[in-house]
Amino acid sequence: MRRGSFVVLATWLVVLTGAAGAAPQVTPRPPAPAGARGTPGAAETGTGLIVGTVVDASSGAPISGAVVTASVRAAGPVDAPGELAALERLAALQAAGLQAPAGGPTILRAFTTSDGRFLFRDLPPGTYNISTSANGYLTSAFGRQRPDGPPRPLTLGDGERRTTVSIRMWKYASISGVVVDETGAPAVGIPVRALRVTVVGEARRVSPGPTTYSDDRGYFRFGGLTPGGYLIAAPMTSIAVPVSAIDEYYTAMRSGDTGELMRERLASGAPMPTTGGLRVGDQQLQLSGIPTRTLAPPAPGPDGRILAYRTVFAPAASTIADAEVLPLASGETRANLTLQLQLSPTASVTGQVIGPDGPVSGIGVRLLPDGNTGLVIDNGFETATTVTNAAGRFVFLGVPAGSYTAKVQRVPRPTVPVDVTRLSVVGGVVMTTSGSSAPPAPPTEPVLWASAPVGVGATDVADVVLTLREGLRLSGRLVFDGASPQPPADRLQALTIRLAAVEGPTIQAQPARPDADGRFETAGYPPGRYFVTPGSIGAWSVRSILAGGRDVVADALDLDRDIDDAVITFTDRRTSLGGTVTTTTPGEVDAVVVAIPADYQGWIAHGMSIRRAPQATVAPDGRFSLGGLMPGDYLVAAFDADAPVNTQDPEFVAAMARVATPVRVAEGEQRQVSLAVARLR
């Protein structure tokens, strides 16, 4: 299945590169032996040399068998983090046997020897980004001084030999434990999730991370955690599906026509029709569990009440608000965690979903517990989910007492046209390829949403009405203010404009694309605070976004009604803040420069857009440049590369403000400053 969908993706890739008129390229290749040189597209070679060692950051011990990846670009400004992200994408393409897109960097790879050594030879001069991966370690890169620190490019002159390059790697942290049921017996096949806790502004941000399942001993282990704060949870969802909805699915399957039905279900995140569980009235009830097996709550007792498992956050909380954050350092192992599942008496919640044309059938409804503050993605953390029947009615079964919010959100999916399906068998795996060259058609239906608070006590709750409303839209036009020629229509139409929720779950709507005249309209979004995030077009970067009477280029937009007069202004005037960093110690400078708005308290209150907090790695000679800067008043400071820089943490921001230098940068100005490395107090 997964393979099949990947291949479809690959087909698009082929189509897209073809459409862009890709030049011949044979970029991703290992260093070829001498005999293979001279083939078309072979990488440029030279006489440069890089020799280095990969070491464990805490013990200094060499790491053998690590893969060291070097990519080179001949010249030009280097965006090191962007380059690394591109490298990861390339690696994914290569792993799938695909070639990299044209114009990408040349990539070299080597395994480290048993004493942690690597070398790259016959190198042309240029700017190299060097990253490393090794079993049990976080991906790292040259220049990194802490696990999430900035990487640095390595500049190699013609024929230069760099033989003392050292790259540090940090071990993953791990958490392991057991899931037991109410009797203390191992609970098998229960989903367990690790959630990363970070601080953004004054709020905690909880991002669901990897999922695993308890094994036959109830044991689970997360072995590859980035150091940081974690919550561990066994999220339990009672999934009720009307028997009629399952029958409808099987009837569609028999006539070979489930595509539209599934698209409709996916649009609202409705539970998928499966064939087992506990029959309760005209519903079939399951618990979330390992995908290969159906889990069901115990058969109800004589009183007919269903007992269901509550979600448990370690050590024994039912919501994030009461859960304990486990801080994990690099290489730290937390073992013997116990997640005990408890059966709770439950009630049911029934209601109806009403749309503009009356009751809505076949739409997914989710019941989320209040108290999961800061959860970025709430899928998988519902107490109950269901789908409406033909009369638009729904029932949540197995809901323990508590306060909840019932939600409907229907985000239309694009339809992928398939004209010809070709199946091929590769190594015994059946792969499906779409023979269509047409891109997915953007959905035209509006985003619909509804939400209602639901309090559940000891008795059933009835008649919850969820009235669907269309999402709010932001529309307007693009303005290009500058001397450069305005981008052609095809470049305009390639631009994407998204709204990203400042807090709460992300809405996976299709981004807006401007028309040839530069007019755009976003999908509909539920009311809330959003960052408007247009990309850049060539030399044009965003200067201002006027919407609802305010410039929201770097602040959150309060979307409380449709806004149809937004103006996104692009400028071709490059504003930058650069200069030099001086240190008291001789040798190469190893530092990072950070800027924050001078009015940092107001910035914190408006959601701490990272667009107003640029960072740059300082070159070994002390020079730096913060490109793509927005004009305004800033506080700027240089720190050692291993300093705990976190511009999303108000404590750091306040500490930085005490040692930073105020700078005003006007539009189009190339401002230069000289900074000394500051120390956080």
Using CB under 8 A as the binding rule, the residues of this chain from 411 to 430 that contact other proteins are 417, 419-430
In 427-562, beta strands by DSSP E: 429-434, 448-456, 461-467, 469-470, 474-481, 497-501, 519-521, 528-534, 541-547, 550-551, 557-559
Q: Which of 180, 199, 266, 296 binds other proteins (CB under 8 A)?
A: 296
Q: Which of 76, 256, 302, 304 binds other proteins (CB under 8 A)?
A: 256
Instruction: Judge whether 364 and 385 are in contact, CB under 8 Å.
Output: yes
Largest CA distance in the chain: 84
C-beta of 276 vs 488, nearer to other proteins: 276
Which stretch in 249-257, 397-405, 447-455, 610-618 sits in contact with other proteins by CB under 8 A? 249-257
- Look-up: residue for tokens 């991370």? 209
Helix (H) or strand (E) holding 92: helix 80-95
Site for other proteins, residues 139 to 198, rule: CB under 8 A: 161, 163-164, 172, 174, 188-189
Which stretch in 23-31, 444-452, 456-464, 638-646 sits in contact with other proteins by CB under 8 A? 23-31
- The amino acid occupying position 228 is G
Which stretch in 118-126, 505-513, 559-567, 576-584 sits in contact with other proteins by CB under 8 A? 118-126
CB of 626 to other proteins, least distance (A): 33
Asked if 255 interacts with other proteins (CB under 8 A), we say: yes
Tell me how many helices (H) and strands (E) the chain has.
7, 47
Name which of 78, 50, 29 is nearest 157 in CA terms: 50
- C-alpha to C-alpha distances, 438 to 16, 133, 257, 331, 423, nearest whole angstrom: 10, 38, 21, 48, 19
Cis omega (within 30 of 0) for bond into 315 = yes
Tokens at 487, concatenated: 């981008």
Binding mask 32-71 for other proteins (x = CB under 8 A): xx-xx--xxx-----x-x-x------------xx-xxx--
CB of 175 to other proteins, least distance (A): 11
Name which of 513, 482, 481 is nearest 497 in CA terms: 513
C-beta of 8 vs 676, nearer to other proteins: 8
Binding mask 365-384 for other proteins (x = CB under 8 A): --------------------
C-beta of 14 vs 655, nearer to other proteins: 14
C-beta of 59 vs 275, nearer to other proteins: 275
Phi, psi of 136 (to 5 degrees): 85, 0
Q: Which of 78, 86, 98, 657 binds other proteins (CB under 8 A)?
A: 98
Q: Give me the torsion for CA of 433, 436, 442, 444, rounded to 10°.
A: -110
Q: Which of 20, 61, 74, 299 binds other proteins (CB under 8 A)?
A: 299
- Look-up: residue for tokens 């919550």? 231
Please tell me the count of residues contacting other proteins according to CB under 8 A. Answer: 111
Q: How far is it, in rounded angstroms, from Cα 641 to Cα 16?
A: 39
Q: How far is it, in rounded angstroms, from Cα 484 to Cα 571?
A: 9
- The amino acid occupying position 47 is T
Q: 640 has which bridge partners?
A: 591
Tell me the helix, strand and coil percentages in the chain, rounded to 5. Answer: 15, 45, 45
C-beta of 155 vs 373, nearer to other proteins: 155
Q: Which of 12, 17, 505, 648 binds other proteins (CB under 8 A)?
A: 17
Q: Which of 8, 12, 14, 204 binds other proteins (CB under 8 A)?
A: 14
Asked if 223 interacts with other proteins (CB under 8 A), we say: yes
Asked if 215 interacts with other proteins (CB under 8 A), we say: yes
Site for other proteins, residues 563 to 592, rule: CB under 8 A: none
Asked if 5 interacts with other proteins (CB under 8 A), we say: no
Q: Which of 71, 99, 237, 409 binds other proteins (CB under 8 A)?
A: 99
Which stretch in 114-122, 146-154, 334-342, 345-353 sits in contact with other proteins by CB under 8 A? 114-122
Q: Which of 71, 112, 352, 576 binds other proteins (CB under 8 A)?
A: 112
C-beta of 201 vs 392, nearer to other proteins: 392
Q: Which of 72, 110, 468, 592 binds other proteins (CB under 8 A)?
A: 110
C-beta of 257 vs 445, nearer to other proteins: 257
CB of 216 to other proteins, least distance (A): 4
Site for other proteins, residues 265 to 294, rule: CB under 8 A: 273, 275-279, 282, 284, 289-290, 292-294
Task: Read off the DSSP letter of residue 172.
Answer: P
- C-alpha to C-alpha distances, 306 to 298, 318, 340, 453, 495, nearest whole angstrom: 8, 18, 19, 22, 51
C-beta of 290 vs 479, nearer to other proteins: 290
Q: How far is it, in rounded angstroms, from Cα 429 to Cα 3?
A: 9
